[in-house]
Amino acid sequence: MFSQLKQQPADPILGLSVKFKADNNSNKIDLGAGIYKDEAGRTPVLASVKAAEQFRTDNETSKAYLGSAGSMLFNEKIQALNLGEHKVIGDNRIRTISTPGGTGALRIAAEFINRCTPGATIWVSNPTWANHQGVFTAAGLNVKTYPYYDYDNKCIDFAGMVEALKEVSKDDAVLLHACCHNPSGMDLSNSQWREIAELSKKIGFMPVVDMAYQGFGQGLDEDAYGLRLMADTVDEMIICSSCSKNFGLYRERIGACSIIGKSAAAADIINSALLPIVRVNYSMPPAHGAAIVETILSSEELTSQWHGELNEMRSRIGGMRRLLVDKLVAKGVTRDFSFITQQNGMFSFLGIDKDQVQRLQDEFSIYIVGSSRISVAAVSYDNVDYLTESIAKVL
């Protein structure tokens, strides 16, 4: 059986990490991995998380299964974090399950869509997170793209996006990034969100909102504007959220899939179809990450501490965006990179070509994916001079 297998290419981002680790250059920089790093290049455990873990250690009394939906308290807290005091919660129209990270939420959402409409089409932005298409096709969905990023003008191609979505069928799903678009960093404005929400209502397609970076853009509530507006506008939608970035719980793999129905009765039916999908995938979700999040969000003191730590991470990324642009100017680069300061979250396209990306790797040990997407969170005061000097040389 195994003799039929053929060698598969390495994941472009994970493969970069392998090359980076094998590189002996003391100046090497990994700008490919999508994880937050502090000024020292570490991905820290938040103090609020450490406190919540200690509480769990002192108070946990069982390792029994939680059930396929996961922790009810976590599900309740994540609904409130995503939606605030939204009417869909008060009307009991939403059902949430804990999932193994945001990727797990996307996979369960995709299988749920396929259960409702076998072989359905889901539309994703061009570009989008590299794993979106793989997750959706593995679940049996067809994937199409709509225009999103204008590479030449370094902005959203909103006109192209709208025209493409006007052709979407009412039986299709459309994936939308709530904030901190991965990989472009370009987010829809509030007025653009309003137009997309009205378009969704008019056509009837299913919005699937991926919120992997809440709090990393403008703030927890600001980053949820589009998601909450969409919930105001349409009767049914799917939310996939992650606690990897904003709580720093990357390896704990905790996320959530929330589905909004037209009524409380419809939501019960949705839940009855959702849980069997979980059962045949991973049966029960892990508990540790959910316990950390629910402990933090159940404590005013820990929530306040977490808000401060989240603000610090967001501010550092914004500061590195400005510093990167200023340093490029100082190194004599005449190309306009000011668009980097207009973006949100961890990512940005530099806009350099593949040969220049390869030169950065071969000559300077700076690792960037071929599209020129960089993780701004990996830029620091210690490496920004070497980085900008290297970029100036390949330009």
Q: Has residue 71 got a pLDDT over 90?
A: yes
Mean pLDDT of 311-325: 97
Provide the pLDDT confidence category of residue 236 given band limits of 50, 70 and 90: very high
Mean pLDDT of 198-227: 98
Identify whether the C-beta of residue 227 lies closer than 8 Å to the C-beta of residue 209. yes
Provide the pLDDT confidence category of residue 81 given band limits of 50, 70 and 90: very high
Q: Has residue 295 got a pLDDT over 80?
A: yes
pLDDT digits (tens, 9 = 90+) for 366-394: 999 999 999 999 999 999 999 999 999 99
The one catalytic residue in 157, 187, 210, 223 is 210
Mean pLDDT of 48-70: 97
HSE of 386 in the Cβ direction (CA atoms, 13 Å)?
Answer: 16
* Tokens 């349409």 sit on residue: 234
Residues of the chain with CATH 3.40.640.10: 65-298
C-alpha 236/C-alpha 234 separation (Å) is 6
pLDDT at residue 322 in the model: 97
Identify whether the C-beta of residue 12 lies closer than 8 Å to the C-beta of residue 130. yes
223 included as an active-site residue: no
Q: Which residues contact 12 (CB under 8 A, 6 or more apart)?
A: 130, 369, 370
Q: Is residue 319 classed as helix, strand or coil in its secondary structure?
A: helix
C-alpha 140/C-alpha 310 separation (Å) is 36
Structure tokens at 20: 């980076």
Q: Which residues contact 75 (CB under 8 A, 6 or more apart)?
A: 69, 96, 97, 98, 256
Alpha-carbon dihedral angle through residues 389, 361, 44, 226, given to the nearest 10 degrees: 90
* Cα-Cα-Cα-Cα dihedral sign, residues 164, 169, 175, 176: positive
Which runs of E-coded beta strand occur in 20-177? 29-30, 94-99, 121-126, 142-147, 149-150, 155-156, 173-177
Q: Has residue 77 got a pLDDT over 80?
A: yes
pLDDT at residue 8 in the model: 86
Identify whether the C-beta of residue 248 lies closer than 8 Å to the C-beta of residue 310. no
Helix residue ranges per DSSP H, 117-263: 132-138, 158-165, 190-203, 220-223, 225-233
Q: Has residue 14 got a pLDDT over 80?
A: no
Question: Closest by alpha carbon to 190, among 198, 88, 322?
Answer: 198
For 162, 191, 199, 205, 236, the CA distances from 195, given in Å and listed in that order, are 9, 6, 6, 14, 17
C-alpha 189/C-alpha 10 separation (Å) is 36
The one catalytic residue in 223, 245, 306, 327 is 245
* DSSP annotation string for 275-316: HHHHHHHTSS--SHHHHHHHHHHT-HHHHHHHHHHHHHHHHH
Lowest mean pLDDT among 4-8, 10-14, 44-48, 302-306: 10-14
C-alpha 88/C-alpha 99 separation (Å) is 21
Residues of the chain with CATH 3.90.1150.10: 10-44+302-394
Provide the pLDDT confidence category of residue 13 given band limits of 50, 70 and 90: confident
210 included as an active-site residue: yes
pLDDT at residue 241 in the model: 98
Summary mean pLDDT of the chain: 96
C-alpha 208/C-alpha 105 separation (Å) is 11
What kind of architecture, by CATH, is found in domain 65-298? 3-Layer(aba) Sandwich (3.40)
* Helix (H) / strand (E) containing 257: strand 255-260
Provide the pLDDT confidence category of residue 16 given band limits of 50, 70 and 90: confident
pLDDT at residue 392 in the model: 97
Identify whether the C-beta of residue 142 lies closer than 8 Å to the C-beta of residue 179. no
Radius of gyration of the chain (CA): 21
pLDDT at residue 5 in the model: 93
pLDDT digits (tens, 9 = 90+) for 147-196: 999 999 999 999 999 999 999 999 999 999 999 999 999 999 999 999 99
C-alpha 330/C-alpha 351 separation (Å) is 19
Instruction: Specify which residues 237 forms β-bridges with.
Output: 260
What is the separation, in whole angstroms, between the first and last Cα of the chain?
50
Q: Has residue 12 got a pLDDT over 90?
A: no
What CATH code is assigned to 10-44+302-394? Answer: 3.90.1150.10
Identify whether the C-beta of residue 317 lies closer than 8 Å to the C-beta of residue 345. yes
Structure tokens at 32: 């490919």
Instruction: Specify which residues 146 forms β-bridges with.
Output: 125
Provide the pLDDT confidence category of residue 18 given band limits of 50, 70 and 90: confident
Provide the pLDDT confidence category of residue 96 given band limits of 50, 70 and 90: very high
Provide the pLDDT confidence category of residue 17 given band limits of 50, 70 and 90: confident
The one catalytic residue in 129, 154, 193, 327 is 129
Structure tokens at 261: 């129905």
C-alpha 266/C-alpha 200 separation (Å) is 20
129 included as an active-site residue: yes
Q: Has residue 348 got a pLDDT over 90?
A: yes
